[in-house]
Amino acid sequence: MLGATAVAAATAVPAAGAAGADASFLVLAPDGGSTAAAAAAVAAAGGTVVAAYDQIGVLVARSANPDFARDAAVPGVEAVAATTGLGTALDEGQTLAEVGSAVQAATGDPTGEPLFGQQWDMPQIEVPQAHAVTTGDPNVVVGVLDSGISSSHPDLASQIAKDKSASCLGGVADTSEAAWNPTTSDHGTHVAGTIAAAINGVGVAGVAPGVKVAAVKVVNDAGFIYPEAAVCGFMWAAEHGMQVTNNSYYIDPWEFNCRNDARQRPVWQAVQRAIRYSQSQGVLNVASAGNSNIDLAHTAVDSGSPNDGSGPVEDRTVTAACLDLPAEAPGVLTVSAVGPTEQKSYYSSYGLGVVDVTAPGGDTRFRTQGARSTLTDAILSTTFNTTTKTNGWGYKQGTSMSGPHAAGVAALALSAHPGLRPGQLAALLERTANPLTCPAGVYNPVPLLDGYEATCSGGQRTSFYGAGNVNAYDVVR
């Protein structure tokens, strides 16, 4: 668990005023200042501090006081926001198909794994060549901020740093193994396999099978990611020696979090503080660009939010005051997706100056111009059937799948070049990426589907691909 300075539980306090539904709140003290006044304000307003992240001046509180946000907004408190309705549904990257695996003698070579022939993504970024140099250092730990990792999966059981794994649901770390295992989603299990599936004669090979992954569960059983869980996740990674985190989600039911919105601004501030603190502790945070085919660098119309049922979906103009978190937070390595031909996946969001690199995420529609799916053009990795509670392997696609390729490459880079700081590590991935040029004119690999036109911009760095496709071999040489 986190130290006493990071997480503290307060004694329950009777709610003030008329009783309402118990709700969670983010309470922010001035950045860099003490949280004592904020904690006192929580108690006076009829709330309970359930987690105190003193390093960044953020408290997670619960209260049934319907006026808590108003009552707690006193001197010494910078902002208060209820997180009810601020959960976003995880973009599942739905399992498109499941496959079985033979069991054979491990060769120590990723190409010898039974299902490696179906992993077109690994040769694309030169994983076999990289493994001739290193498969990764077990002292390197990648935090998978996601829906949990199946600790019984034969490709992952040996790969999980159990002593660094926790559930962060509710904003409070729970280190029990049951808490950080998947319950209703195998998204995190799929992500973990791409990063570090073992070379053991069964299933698939990960980008960095020599490193460890830690399950940091931030997705609840309903499939939502609340900001207090994300804050806890970043802080947990920072305090437990993780050098890389993978973040295949966005925070808030609004795909873009607007700091000029009174309710959303505290979320933006709290998440930014947690990310900044984790970076100061040596963590490179890798985030997926998103699957909305949106140009993140320009004003756009968001027509898909809120997505959690908290209100009617509406068209909303997204300006420079609105960010896709964590993908657009400063210092985060943001990853778009390509398919088997190294062209932008039809669904991948993009943006000049936002996307840093690209990586394989799958594209099941380009071969048929959108008419039907070619499942084997998605990403094959580890799965967990949450109904039957059985482990397996299956295909998913999305920038949720491209992010862990970049995180795995970052882990290999740290293994070959220990001591790199987050900025240096990100720069190495960008410098060694395989440059990709913009397609001419309006790009649309799926003309039989509506809404997927996009125009690429840039020169050496492009809006579609950033510095280019990550390269596992070039970061370890």
Locus of tokens 């004669």: 201
- Which residues are CB-neighbours of 282 under 8 A, at least 6 positions away? 243, 421, 422
Q: State residue 191 phi and psi, 5-degree precision.
A: -60, -45
Q: Give per-residue burial for 257-277: e unless 16+ CB within 10 Å, then b.
A: bbbebeebbbbbbbbbbbbbb
Catalytic residue among 91, 121, 146, 295: 146
As a whole number of angstroms, the distance between CA 365 and CA 369 comes to: 6
Residue type, 324: D
> Is 54 one of the catalytic residues?
no
As a whole number of angstroms, the distance between CA 307 and CA 287 comes to: 20
For residue 340, cis peptide bond before it (omega within 30 degrees of 0): no
- Which residues are CB-neighbours of 368 under 8 A, at least 6 positions away? 374, 448
As a whole number of angstroms, the distance between CA 134 and CA 476 comes to: 7
As a whole number of angstroms, the distance between CA 116 and CA 417 comes to: 27
Catalytic residue among 150, 155, 165, 187: 187
As a whole number of angstroms, the distance between CA 274 and CA 407 comes to: 19
Beta-bridged to residue 167, according to DSSP, are 174, 217
> Is 146 one of the catalytic residues?
yes
Q: What is the DSSP letter of 65?
A: -
Could you give the residue ranges of the DSSP H alpha helices within 243-361?
A: 265-280
Catalytic residue among 305, 400, 402, 415: 400
Contact of 50 with 61, CB cutoff 8 Å: yes
For residue 306, cis peptide bond before it (omega within 30 degrees of 0): yes
Contact of 114 with 103, CB cutoff 8 Å: yes
Angle between helix 399-416 and helix 187-196 axes, rounded to 10 deg:
30
Beta-bridged to residue 61, according to DSSP, are 25, 49
Residue type, 77: V
- Which residues are CB-neighbours of 468 under 8 A, at least 6 positions away? 357, 358, 430, 433, 434, 435, 436
> Is 302 one of the catalytic residues?
no
Locus of tokens 């304000």: 41
Q: What is the DSSP letter of 34?
A: -
Locus of tokens 């830690």: 214
* Active-site amino acid positions: 146, 187, 400
